[in-house]
Amino acid sequence: MKHIQITDRIYGNIIIDEPIVISLLQSPFLQRLKDIDQAGFFQPQIHHDKHTRFEHSVGVYYLLRIFQAPLEEQIAGLIHDVSHGVFSHCLDYALGGTHEGKQSHQDDIFEKFVINSDIPTILASYGFDSKLILDETRHPLKETSIPDLCADRLDYSLRSSSVYQHTPIKTIRDIVRNLTIRNNQWVFTDYLHAKIYAEIFYLLNIMFYSGLPSAIMFRTVGDVVSYALKKNYFSYDDLYKTDSYVLAIIKKRAKTDQDLSLLFSRMCNPKGITNNPDHYDCEVVCKSRIVDPYFLEGKNIKRLSKKYTKWKTVIQQELKPKRYFLKFSD
């Protein structure tokens, strides 16, 4: 195959002709991500449109390609989400423990998951060392800590802004056009675009990433998956198949298991669930995200919060995990 063409909601028509990237895209481990929902569990009344981990993974790769990151880093961007299990970060709440609130399960198993996939063989066949691809310190444009920008954070937020906020594609592409790279860091070309992007990200966080709808989704989906695992309706390994595969089992079992049926109804119909700190059934902790991008002012590189002083308070507020106290109406 000489090339692959992908129509992307952010970047338009993407032509991929790099042989190693084509081979990786054809891997069943990457193809599986087409059936892993980016948000977790698609709920039309909340998410409006479905987008997948595959779409996001291609987006991260392509963003790095646009800005001429090394091919090694582009590859790292393409495979960065390959270890996500079913229902994305909802799985953190199904498995419990330290994963809840941190949403770190996918990262914790990433290296082992990749090593046990066909990806190292594909990389080796093109002369790439998987150890170097897996070394996060080599890929500063792909991944950095909050509140800095990285290709992962940029792509998922711009993609979310299209899906959830219906941000015009012209605005999104204008944000991308006004990005540049300085000293291996993402930098906006001016203050205005840094501020526009940061405020978009902030609204996404309070409404979706760490908002009440997500807290309800994380808990209800997590409860269904956890219960089904304990009942041996599917195995731990099944969690790394697809959303559709696991969902079909849940639907079938819910017809004869009254407890699962109740949990599944909460998962599918969350509107009756409220946040009530005075009278609640369970507490949910959500990871909170915020950005403080760099921008150019003349020849100088500045933080948004240095000029937009209000942003310092926003950062302090949004870096704290969000806690919700859920009361079920059934």
Neighbouring-strand partners of residue 286: 322
Position 45 scores a pLDDT of: 62
Position 1 scores a pLDDT of: 66
Helix (H, G, I), strand (E, B) or coil at 308: coil
pTM recorded for the entire structure = 0.96
Cis peptide, bond prior to residue 147, ω within 30 of zero: yes
Helix (H, G, I), strand (E, B) or coil at 286: strand
Position 101 scores a pLDDT of: 79
Position 50 scores a pLDDT of: 84
Position 69 scores a pLDDT of: 98
Which of 99, 77, 95, 78 has the alpha carbon at shortest distance from 86? 95
Q: Tell me the mean pLDDT per 10 residues along the chain, length 330.
A: 90 96 98 97 72 97 98 98 97 84 92 98 98 96 97 97 90 98 97 98 96 95 98 98 98 98 95 94 96 97 97 96 94
Position 214 scores a pLDDT of: 94
Place of tokens 């099944």: 238
Interatomic CA distance for residues 270 and 112, integer angstroms:
35
Position 330 scores a pLDDT of: 79
Tokens for 94, please give them.
Answer: 């199904």
Tokens for 57, please give them.
Answer: 């993974």
Domains of the chain with CATH codes: 4-212+287-326 (1.10.3210.10)
Contact 326, 275 (CB under 8 A): yes
Tokens for 263, please give them.
Answer: 């949990």
Contact 23, 2 (CB under 8 A): no
Position 98 scores a pLDDT of: 64
